[in-house]
Amino acid sequence: MKNSRFSKQFSLWFCLHHVFKAQLIPMFPLSLLPLPGELVPLHIFEPRYKQLINEAGQSDFGFGIFCTHEINTRKIGSWMKLESIVKKHPGGEMDIVVKCEDIFTLHSLYRNYKDKLYPGGTVAFWQVDVQELPGGRLSELFEQYLNKRNITRHKAFFSIYHVAHLLNLDITERYQFLLMENSVRTRFLIQQLKYHSQLLDMELKSKDVFQWN
Q: Please list, residue by residue across 162-177, b when 16 or more beta carbons sit within 10 angstroms of its beta carbon and e when fewer do.
A: bbbbbbebeeeebbeb
- Write the DSSP symbol of residue 196: H
CB-based contacts of 20, cutoff 8 Å, min separation 6 = 105, 124
Which CATH number does the domain housing residue 97 bear? 2.30.130.40
- What are the tens digits of pLDDT across the range 111-166? 999 999 999 999 999 999 998 888 888 989 988 888 888 877 655 678 999 999 98
Element (H, E) at 107: strand 94-110
My answer on whether 22 and 73 are in the same domain is yes
> pTM for the whole thing?
0.83
My answer on whether 23 and 120 are in the same domain is yes
Q: Provide the pLDDT for residue 16.
A: 44
Helix axes 182-212, 136-148, angle to 10 degrees: 20
- What are the tens digits of pLDDT across the range 34-54? 999 999 999 999 999 999 999
My answer on whether 166 and 107 are in the same domain is no
Estimate to the nearest angstrom the gap between the alpha carbon of 160 and the chain centroid.
12
Specify if 3 maps to a domain: no
- What are the tens digits of pLDDT across the range 170-202? 999 999 999 999 889 999 999 999 998 888 878
Query: Contact at 8 Å (CB) between 68 and 30?
Result: yes
The range of the structural domain enclosing residue 49 comes to 18-125
The whole-angstrom separation of Cα 32 and Cα 162 is: 17
Query: Contact at 8 Å (CB) between 148 and 10?
Result: no
My answer on whether 101 and 57 are in the same domain is yes
- Select from 125, 149, 166 the last residue of a domain: 125
At 1, is the secondary structure helix, strand, or coil?
coil
- Select from 125, 146, 175 the last residue of a domain: 125
Question: Structural domain tally of the chain?
Answer: 2
Query: Contact at 8 Å (CB) between 165 and 37?
Result: yes
My answer on whether 147 and 91 are in the same domain is no
